[in-house]
Amino acid sequence: MIAILLPAIKRARATARTVICSSNLRQVGIGVQVYVSESDRILPLINERRCCSSPIPGGAGGGRGYNWLGLIEHVADGQGTRNLHCPADDRNPDPHDELRIFTPLTFDESTRAVERGAYSYGANFVGRRLPNRRIPWSSTDGPFGATGDDPDELGPVLIDTIPDPAETVQVLDAYYQDLSVKFSVIDAQISMNDALEGHGYWVTSLQLFRHDVNPEPDTPIGPNVLFADGHVRATVDFFRLTDDNFSFEVDD
């Protein structure tokens, strides 16, 4: 009898984790919408500054500035950032580590943040250097991820300019504050595939994606995703997504 019930119990637990994770992502989406409504329809920056650039005078964290979560936390008064731990993430984050969560991280800090569980959700930053395309976040005209050679990466992005927000990935469960890939989503998929095969950092619901990694093939698989229109889709097939799901064309 136990052998019969055990798979059903495991499926029920996986479903419950998916429901909680999806609820967390919806709250993040509400935070983004509050930010947009307070900012003349402009989407938040991924980061106010690059981690290794000069400090922002008077900026958060001793001049480090905010990342996208910090901007939502600051403008939306905590709406959307209260539950940032995916139940499929078995790390134990430090509840007093908010400075590291809401500010840009150096490479070494990112590594430590992965180890200590600072993030369960990451912003879509895939295709940020593709010509004549934009991601669904604003970017600066300063040193963060942008130079004079990348004019399409500069400046604010109005949420109303996203042509298909219901199919544009904004946030997904991940171990980093942003899923940053300069060019095609294919690069992200290769990186993701390598991480999954190596049982790497993607051990939120994304870790359960691959059948050859997932010991329970009948459980839901795939990342849970917040789209730019605010809706959440569970267990999305990451390897079937295209560049149009991560960035959109802009006029020359």
Residue 202 has a pLDDT of 45
Q: Is the pLDDT of residue 11 over 50?
A: yes
Res 149: pLDDT: 42
Mean pLDDT score, 141-157:
51
220 pLDDT more than 60: no
- pLDDT score of 226 more than 90: yes
What is the model's pLDDT at position 101? 72
64-78, pLDDT tens digit by residue? 888 898 899 888 777
In the chain, what percentage of residues exceed pLDDT 90?
22
**CA atoms within a 13 Å half-sphere pointing along the CA-CB vector of 35:** 28
The reported pLDDT for the residue numbered 218 is 52
Is there a contact between 37 and 43 (Cβ–Cβ < 8 Å)?
no
Instruction: Provide the edge-to-edge strand list for the sheet that holds 121-126.
Output: 178-181, 121-126, 169-173, 225-227, 232-233
Instruction: Return d(Cα 207, Cα 40) in angstroms, integer.
Output: 37
The DSSP H or E segment spanning 98 is helix 98-102
pLDDT-based confidence at residue 203 (cuts at 50, 70, 90) = very low
Mean pLDDT computed over every residue of the chain: 76
Give the Cα separation of 101 and 82 in Å (integer).
Answer: 12
Structure tokens at 78: 């905590």
What is the DSSP secondary-structure string of 139-174?
B-SSSSS--TT-GGG-B--BGGG-S-GGG-EEEEE-
What are the tokens at 143? 């040193």
Q: Which residues pair with 47 in a beta bridge?
A: 67
Per-residue pLDDT at 19: 87
Name the residue with higher pLDDT: 92 or 234: 234
